[in-house]
Amino acid sequence: MTKSFTPLLLGFIGGGLSSAVGAVHYSSCGLDGIWKVTAGAFSRNSKVNHETGRQWHVKDKHIYDDWKKLVDNEKGKLDAVCILTHTPIHAEIIDYVLERNIPIICEKSITMDTDESQSLHKKFNPKKHFFASIFNYTGYPLIRELQARIDAAEFGTIKQIHIEMPQEGLIRPPAIAGKAAPPQNWRLKDGKIPTICLDLGVHMHNMISFLTHQEPSEIFAEFGNCSSYHNLIDYIYMLLRFESGMKGSLWMTKTALGHRNGLTVRVYGEKASACWYQMEPEELLINYLDGHREVVDRGSKCRVAGELRYTRFKTGHPAGFIEAFANLYADIAEALNEFKKSGKWTTPHVYGFEDAAKGLKFFEAASKSYREQKWVRV
């Protein structure tokens, strides 16, 4: 956790009260007092925009109906801008903010495809521009514990990694505050990359990189539709090969009735295997070669999960989604403070522009595999 006692000042573009992610970002970034939201263009709906600002104690003069005015007027006042809009307009906003050299925190996916990301990459200077991507699932303490144990060779050589993320939102929309929340319009149209990959898949791709420090080298993908949105790809199976010889798979869908968010990570090594389930995030199941099984939580003998930064309250009182998000926001603050001093950061938990762009390349290769029905190199 950052040692700074002066909150970093943050401006939101998007993320209003009607947003799926805004309240999560607001709650998590401020949980440890490290960040403070002081400006925002929260919504294109003026009523929602100003109501969001009032609820979040943002002064009226720092609430903007035009996100460009926020960027121009708040430059020099904010430590970073957080982009929380829907993905199709990310590229335009990132381009505008890069030109004004304001640090960026950006929700996934960075852009819609590699054409957009490569255009931005031409303007992105890693020594000048700070860019942090939001891959919040890596903020869970037991996922970080798993990473630490893999890095310490407790599992031996990793032979397989399998990640699944089944959800039910396209056949049973989730209820938010007692009201059904049908899919946003932009999520019901696929581009070069299926929207489900931009929504769920990029998290899964990042999780592989986070845990194994490897990228898939070859992909075989199957796409399909199971919902009433017949022109939309809503389930994907992928087989993965890695240069190291490791094998893997991904399964994602929004048509798995009964799964609110079934993100599951399974890792198989020479000496041990592990399974982590996002709906029960405080437990990591490990199986060893000698046959014994261990359930690890933050109260166990841990490498990292028992650290003070992950123990806002004693074990037995579960830490969940908001806390995982807050862990990542603490990492981003640490990275930004380091970047301001040296033009780079060393914290391993923050993924930047180029890391986020790798996911787009990966899923464009998956689309090619599906079209050509063959293994494709990434």
Q: Is the pLDDT of residue 12 over 60?
A: yes
DSSP single-letter state for residue 174: P
Do residues 198 and 290 both lie within one domain? yes
State what percent of residues in the chain have pLDDT above 90: 91
How many C-beta neighbours within 10 Å does residue 135 have? 24
Domain-embedded: residue 217: yes
The arithmetic mean of pLDDT across residues 252-262, rounded, is 96
Domain-embedded: residue 335: yes
Sorted by sequence, the CB contacts under 8 Å of residue 289 that are 6+ apart come out as 270, 271, 272
Do residues 132 and 204 both lie within one domain? no
Do residues 120 and 150 both lie within one domain? no
Q: What is the pLDDT of residue 3?
A: 52
Torsional sign, CA 150, 366, 263, 177: positive
**Domain of residue 51, residue span:** 8-137+328-351
Helix (H) / strand (E) element for 264: namely strand 264-269
40 three-state secondary structure: strand
Q: How would DSSP label each residue in 230-245?
A: TTS--EEEEEEE-TTS
Give dist(CA 88, CA 71) in Å, integer.
Answer: 19
Q: Which residue has the tokens 């381009």?
A: 95
Domain-embedded: residue 193: yes
Do residues 168 and 40 both lie within one domain? no
Q: What is the pLDDT of residue 177?
A: 60
CB of 96 closer than 8 Å to CB of 72: no
pLDDT tens profile 206-246? 999 999 999 999 999 999 999 999 999 999 999 999 999 99
Do residues 260 and 334 both lie within one domain? no
Q: What is the pLDDT of residue 187?
A: 85
- Per-chain mean pLDDT for the chain: 95
Do residues 102 and 132 both lie within one domain? yes
DSSP single-letter state for residue 162: E
Q: What is the pLDDT of residue 184?
A: 81
Domain-embedded: residue 320: no
Give dist(CA 284, CA 296) in Å, integer.
Answer: 5
Amino acid at 89: I
End-to-end CA distance of the chain: 35
Do residues 43 and 180 both lie within one domain? no
Do residues 233 and 342 both lie within one domain? no
Domain-embedded: residue 3: no
Residues in a beta bridge with 81: 11, 104
Domain-embedded: residue 323: no
Do residues 150 and 90 both lie within one domain? no
Q: What is the pLDDT of residue 4?
A: 47
Q: Which residue has the tokens 């998590």?
A: 28
pTM of the model: 0.95
Q: Is the pLDDT of residue 325 over 80?
A: yes
Q: What is the domain count for the chain? A: 2
CB of 43 closer than 8 Å to CB of 59: no
Q: Is the pLDDT of residue 2 over 50?
A: no
Q: What is the CATH number of the domain that holds 271?
A: 3.30.360.10
Q: Which residue has the tokens 């862990």?
A: 327
Cα 346 to chain centroid, rounded = 19
Do residues 109 and 156 both lie within one domain? no
Domain-embedded: residue 33: yes
Q: Is the pLDDT of residue 173 over 50?
A: yes
List the single range of 90-99, 176-185, 270-279, 295-304 with lowest mean pLDDT: 176-185
pLDDT tens profile 146-165? 999 999 999 999 999 999 99
Q: What is the pLDDT of residue 371?
A: 97
The arithmetic mean of pLDDT across residues 29-34, rounded, is 96
Q: How far is CA 185 from CA 24, 90, 176, 178, 346, in A?
A: 21, 16, 17, 21, 39
The arithmetic mean of pLDDT across residues 14-18, rounded, is 95
Q: What is the CATH number of the domain that holds 84?
A: 3.40.50.720
The arithmetic mean of pLDDT across residues 79-101, rounded, is 97
Do residues 232 and 366 both lie within one domain? yes
Domain-embedded: residue 322: no
Do residues 133 and 155 both lie within one domain? no
